[in-house]
Amino acid sequence: MPSQRRVTTQFLFLVLAILGMIGRHYTAALSPQEKDETNNSNREKKETYVTMKQEEIIQQLTQGESGLVWHDLSVWQKEHPLLHSCTGFVPNGHVCGILGPSGAGKSTLIHALAGSSSSSSSSQGNVWQYHHPEEVLIRMTPPQVAWLQQHDSFFELLTVQETLQLAAFLELPHWEVEQRDALVQTKLQALGLAAVADRKVGGYHGSYSPKLSGGERRRLAVALELLTDKELLLADEPTTGLDTSMSVRVVQLIRDTVQNLQIPAFCVLHQPRSTIWNELLDDIILLASGGHVCYVGPRSEVRAYFDDLGYSCPQDTNPAEFYVDLISVDPEDPVQAALDEKRIQRIVLHFRKHQQEQLRIPQKNNQKHRDLRYPHNSMKEVYKIPTAQSLQSASRSHRPGLFHCPPWFLRFMALLKRSLRQNLRDTTSIVARLVFAASNAWLLTQLYPTVVANSPPTAHSLADRAALLTTAAIVVCNMAYMKTADLFEKEYPVVLREQMRHQYSTLEYLLAKALAELPLDALFAGVFSTVLKACTGLCIGWWPLTGAFSLLTAAGASLGFLFGSWFAAEGLAIQAGLPILVVLMLVGVINPSGVDPRRSPPMVTQLMKRISPFAYAIHAVMVAEFQDMQFVSSTGGRRWWSSIWKDLPRMGAMAMVRNGNQVLEALGLKQETYVHAMKHLAYLTGIHLLLSWWGLAVRRRKPSSGPKPSSKTIELSVSQGTNAAMPPKVARRVRL
Reported residue count of the chain is 736
Return the minimum-mean-pLDDT range out of 62-66, 116-120, 309-313, 348-352: 116-120
600 lies in some domain:
yes
381 lies in some domain:
no
61 lies in some domain:
no
What pLDDT is attached to residue 528?
A: 95
DSSP string, 410-449: HHHHHHHHHHHHHHHT-HHHHHHHHHHHHHHHHHHHHH-G
**Rounded-to-integer distance, Cα 387 and Cα 469, Å:** 63
Q: Using one digit for the tens of pLDDT, what is the confidence trace for 365-387? A: 433 333 333 333 445 555 444 33
Pure H helices in 46-102 = 52-62
Residue 468: which residues within 8 A CB-CB, separation 6 or more?
444, 445, 447, 448, 451, 532, 536, 538
- Angle at CA of residue 543, ends 540 and 547, nearest 5°: 105
Return the minimum-mean-pLDDT range out of 564-568, 592-596, 709-713: 709-713
SS3 95: strand
The DSSP 8-state label assigned to residue 599 in this structure reads: S
Question: Based on the structure, what is the number of domains in the chain?
Answer: 1
663 lies in some domain:
yes
**Rounded-to-integer distance, Cα 281 and Cα 255, Å:** 8
497 lies in some domain:
yes
Q: Using one digit for the tens of pLDDT, what is the confidence trace for 655-714? A: 556 787 888 888 888 889 999 999 999 999 999 999 999 888 887 654 444 455 544 333
What count of Cα atoms within 13 Å lies in the side-chain half-sphere of residue 400? 1
**Rounded-to-integer distance, Cα 546 and Cα 670, Å:** 23
487 lies in some domain:
yes
- Angle at CA of residue 462, ends 456 and 465, nearest 5°: 80
Q: Which amino acid type is present at position 256?
A: D
pLDDT band at residue 213 using 50, 70 and 90 as cut-offs: confident
pLDDT at 132 over 90: no
Q: Using one digit for the tens of pLDDT, what is the confidence trace for 295-309? A: 999 999 999 999 999
Residue with the bigger pLDDT between 651 and 225: it is 225
Short-list 22, 5, 19, CA closest to 682: 5
What pLDDT is attached to residue 62?
A: 79
- Asked whether the CA dihedral 32, 37, 42, 47 is positive or negative, the reply is positive
Q: Average of pLDDT values for 201-218?
A: 75
pTM: 0.74
Residue 521: which residues within 8 A CB-CB, separation 6 or more?
480, 483, 484, 550, 553, 554, 556, 557
Q: Using one digit for the tens of pLDDT, what is the confidence trace for 17-56? A: 555 554 554 443 344 444 444 444 343 334 455 666 777 7
pLDDT at 392 over 60: no
Domain that holds residue 559: 427-446+461-633+643-699
Return the minimum-mean-pLDDT range out of 103-112, 284-293, 361-370, 519-528: 361-370
Short-list 317, 315, 319, CA closest to 299: 319
606 lies in some domain:
yes
Average pLDDT value for the chain: 78
Return the minimum-mean-pLDDT range out of 43-57, 67-81, 131-145: 43-57
Residue with the bigger pLDDT between 637 and 52: it is 52
Q: Using one digit for the tens of pLDDT, what is the confidence trace for 607-635? A: 899 999 999 999 999 999 988 888 776 55
Q: Taking a C-beta distance cutoff of 8 angstroms, is the pair 486, 506 a contact?
A: no
What pLDDT is attached to residue 716?
A: 29
